Amino acid sequence: MKPARVRARSIFGQLTTASILIAVIAVGVLFAVTTITVQRQARASLSATVSTDLAGLIDIYATAGREELLRRVADRQAVVSLEGRRSHYMVADGAGRLLAGDVRRWPQINSARSEEGFVTLADGTEVYAQGARLAPDLQLLAAREYDRDRSALAVLSAAFLAVGAAIVGAVAFVAWITARHLARRMDAVNAALGAAADGRAASFPARQRGGDEIDEVAGHGARLLARQAQLLKAYKQVSEHVAHEVRTPLMHLDNRLGAAMQARPENAGGPIGQSREDIRAILSMLDSLLDIASAESRRGDLAGLAEIDMSALAESLADLYEGSAEDAGLTLETAIAPGVTMLGERMQITRLLSNLLDNAIKYVPEGGRVRLILRPGPSVTVEDDGPGIPRDQRDRVFERFSRATAPGDKPGHGLGLALSRAIAERHGLVLRLGDAPRGAQFILEPAP
């Protein structure tokens, strides 16, 4: 089974979250500043009103005396200020006993220092009050209720919070829409690059009107892939042309050396025999290159494909390689599901599986284990408990002429896995490395 892709957290999601957080902080700060400012202004207004009222009464006392002050306090209790703040007064003697007014008990206000502030009267009424000492045995208190100020502040706060929530919601909505649009475009670019990395056709998203950084990245990616495709095509053409042109002269040379060996049998094991072995190794390499080219050129072509009994083919290969595994001191295990079939070219699939089994038997040390697994799909797994493939070489192990440098490495041209992958792709399959805890694991399965 192909491992699930772990998706990193989107940067556009992070930007959306950051935008919402900034909007919330900005609204919160603005709300706090506005609330504090309104509260200070309300306090200043209350202080000015109470101070003015108190100063008027003190002036009455200074000009008309104590009796006039008591009479005027009684008159003012019935007056409601223009601001809608109800007035409260108290004229008391030096011991705090009531002489006039509606406040029954002197609050926590120091009249000697003309203190002022928010206090709660004996009946529970919350007021802003200021006191003053008019004489050693006479003190005066003026107060204003501020419940309407508090109600106005509550209404203002509710309205501010509603508007703030609407602003945050609007920012969140716009940020989400924008981030989603950008994420879709970036996903399209990533999908195109991923398809190119997997060897599939890549299609970059259309350029947006005016263009932006994502369009620039997509443009650079498209040009890079086009350039890479040109270089790869030229590389393949050269290698295939060389393989085709060199193969025939080498075969003629091998035939001439064979004739020379027949003429002089005493030279069969000497330089001439070694030269023939080298020539045959080169011919094998050239044949592999031509086979790779043939498989790649027929990718997706259904011509020549027929229904293959994969279960029977796997059983046949297991029987064939069992002797080779025993000779190498290895154990070949199988887990082959019955009745598995696929549309393919029998000889090519046989060569693909043979390459994988050859590799496993060649690299696993004596006493090791090789396992061939076939499941419906078809899904084929060839795994072993040998030295495995170094992690820094896993990305290029399927490239031409690329060979792992693991312990116990054997001579070769590095074309077997490249040919196996080309055959797999020709049949609409994917050949990849698995994440086995030990050894190498090759998995062949249908392309997604």
Q: Average pLDDT for residues 262-272, to the nearest whole number? A: 64
Which pLDDT band, with edges at 50, 70 and 90, does 2 fall under?
very low
Q: Judging by DSSP bridges, how do beta strands 369-375 and 379-384 pair with one another? A: antiparallel
Residue 417 contacts by C-beta under 8 Å, 6 or more apart in sequence? 355, 359, 397, 398, 402, 431
* Per-residue pLDDT tens over the stretch 298-314: 666 666 788 999 999 99
Identify the pLDDT of residue 6: 41
Identify the pLDDT of residue 5: 43
Domains and CATH numbers, the chain: 14-151 (3.30.450), 213-297 (1.10.287), 306-446 (3.30.565.10)
Residue corresponding to tokens 């009464």:
57
Range 187-219 burial, b when 16+ CB lie within 10 A, else e:
ebbeebbeebeeeeebebbeeeeeeeebbeebe
* Per-residue pLDDT tens over the stretch 109-119: 898 899 999 99
Residue 310 contacts by C-beta under 8 Å, 6 or more apart in sequence? 340, 341, 342, 349, 374, 378, 380
Residue 149 contacts by C-beta under 8 Å, 6 or more apart in sequence? 42, 45, 46, 85
Q: Average pLDDT for residues 397-407, to the nearest whole number? A: 66
Q: How many CB atoms lie within 10 A of CB 231?
A: 10
What is the number of alpha carbons within 13 Å of residue 230 lying toward its C-beta?
Answer: 6
* Per-residue pLDDT tens over the stretch 189-221: 888 777 776 666 667 777 766 677 778 887 887
Give helix 147-197 / helix 11-64 axis angle, nearest 10°.
170
183 compared with 256, residue with greater pLDDT: 183
**Average pLDDT across the chain, whole number:** 80
* Per-residue pLDDT tens over the stretch 336-381: 999 999 988 898 899 889 989 988 888 888 889 999 999 998 999 9
- Cis (ω within 30 of 0) for the bond into 378? yes
CA 364, 444, 338 angle in degrees (round to 5)? 95
354 compared with 258, residue with greater pLDDT: 354
